[in-house]
Every structure is written in structure tokens, then in C-alpha cells.
Amino acid sequence: MDTSLPAFLASDLPPVGPAQARFEIIPVPLEHSVSYGQGTAAGPEALLAASQQLEVYDGAGEPGLAGIYTGPEVACAAATPLVLQRIAARVAAALAGGRLPVVLGGEHTVTLGAVQALVARGAAFGVVQFDAHADLRASYEGNPLSHACVMRRVVELGVPLFQLGVRSLSKEEAIFRQQQALGHCDAAELLRGPAPLLQLPPDFPRAIYLTFDLDAFDPAMLPGTGTPVPGGLFWYDALRLIDTVLAGRTLIGFDVTELAPIPGSRVSEFTAAKLVYYLMSAALR
């Protein structure tokens, strides 16, 4: 285990090795293509530090008792394609060992590495995306591996996608989403007026990889992210949606990305750590 990073919830749970773990934390401090605020490279370490303040009991159970292994950081001082290969290798190893991969970003580009590993396994799965942005651009600032393009690359791999909470997208992305008939329920529909009876499409895969860009939250609740957008989710909105989309399905892995800690504040990293722990609990349910 990498001793340079605190293990997730090590304040209350003795760290375990991979053979004893149900969950594997994969920290990826990637910050190659951020386009507004900076700081995502510090996100994984800040989240792990904040996790020391969590309660093991989450109000319904103790998901941490299933075993959480915190692995070393993925080395990010390399070209983005190589970093993605490293992420994919770590996710593949976790899956091969029977562990559920929990990727901590870093910028949202990290999702592509995890999805590549799942595609290589050959199993049918879909991606559910929580995000303020569609991330469906063909290229952004000349970079096809920008965080603003990550879901476009996922769709090009043939993976079904459903988007939740989007409230900022380009005309190009709106056209692409329509052409590809990508399922979505945007923030305006979710949060203005009565909540819709949200359901994933009937043919959506039963196995789910969930990616949660923290700018899905309203910046009034979670300001520590690089591209905040007003009109986002609040805590119980997010939990309700997570429970809804996972009902009757299996969570096979997830990531939490785009945490950019604010000096002197602990709100964003603690909220992110609590979200990670909630998703672990959801996976066991």
C-alpha cells in the first residue's frame, strides 16, 4: 500500500490488502486538460484525508466492513493516452480480483480509462453520468482527450449512456445527443417543478458504471470544483437519483471526479468523501 496517501476511512477501519477487500480505491490525480479552475490534481488526496471524518455507520449499515483497499496513486506525469492505459490496467486488476473499482479523480477524463477496462472484459454494461456538462464535444481546445470530450469517447466505444443533471452544453453536443438518441434528464427537468418519475430505458443494461462529476452538485453546496454551474443538484436530490437508477441493477464500478479543494474550506472534500461512501453502500444494496 502507498503510505504517502491516507487510506480511505483508516481513522476507524484497519487498512486491508486487496485480497480482503470488496472495494479498491484508485486515486488518479490527473490535471491535463482543465479549462477553467485549477486544482483537480489535489482532489484524490483531499478526499482521502476528509474520509477520516466519516462515520463507519452510514445510517443504514456499515459498508466499510466489507473491506476497502486504498491502492497507490496512478502516475499522471505522462501523456494522457498512457495515463488512461495505467488507469485501465488498475481497474482491470481490481475486477479480476473480485473488487469493485472506485476511481478518484482528477479531471473527468479518468472515466475513459475505467470504461476501456470494462469494455475489454466483454460484458454488457451502461454508463450513468451525473454532470453539469454533457462532455460530448468531438474535441476541445484542440484536444480530443479533454475532460469536455470524455463522454463522446465513451459513446464511440459503443457503450450505452444516460445523463443526469446536465445544464451546460454546446449546440454541437445537443445535436450529437439527439443523433445518437442518448438518454438524459437534465437539471431543468429534474429540479424545476415536481420531480419526474425517472426511469432508465427498458433496454438499458442491468450492469451500471456510474460516473459522478462533482459539478453536478449546485455550487452553493459544493463550490470546490473547476467548472461550477448554477442550478445543480443538492444532497438528497443526488441520493434519490442514485437509488432510482440503481434499483434492480448492479453497480460494477464508479468514479468521483473534478474535486478542486478550496484552501481554508473542507466542505467540498468531505461532501465528496461522503458521496463515495454512499455509493459503496449502494453497491452492496
120: left (phi over 0), alpha (psi -120 to 50) or beta: alpha
Structural domain count of the chain = 1
For residue 39, give the amino acid letter: G
* Residue 18 domain flag: no
Domain that holds residue 185: 23-284
* Residue 9 domain flag: no
pLDDT bracket for residue 110 (50, 70, 90):
very high
Q: Please, what is the average pLDDT of the chain?
A: 95
Check whether 19 has a pLDDT greater than 80.
Answer: yes
pLDDT tens by residue, 191-200: 987 777 788 9
* Residue 140 domain flag: yes
Average pLDDT of span 118-132: 97
pLDDT value of residue 194 = 75
H-helix or E-strand spanning residue 175: helix 171-179
Rounded Cα–Cα distance for residues 139 and 238 (Å): 29
* Residue 40 domain flag: yes
* Residue 92 domain flag: yes
* Residue 114 domain flag: yes
Rounded Cα–Cα distance for residues 76 and 73 (Å): 8
Check whether 260 has a pLDDT greater than 80.
Answer: yes
* Residue 14 domain flag: no
C-beta atoms surrounding 146 within 10 Å: 23
Check whether 132 has a pLDDT greater than 80.
Answer: yes
Percentage of the residues of the chain whose pLDDT score is greater than 70: 99
pTM of the full predicted structure? 0.97
C-beta atoms surrounding 20 within 10 Å: 13
Specify whether the CB–CB gap between 101 and 24 falls below 8 A. yes
**What are the cell numbers at 230?**
448554477
Rounded Cα–Cα distance for residues 121 and 4 (Å): 31
* Residue 85 domain flag: yes
Q: Which CATH number belongs to the domain containing residue 92 in this structure?
A: 3.40.800.10
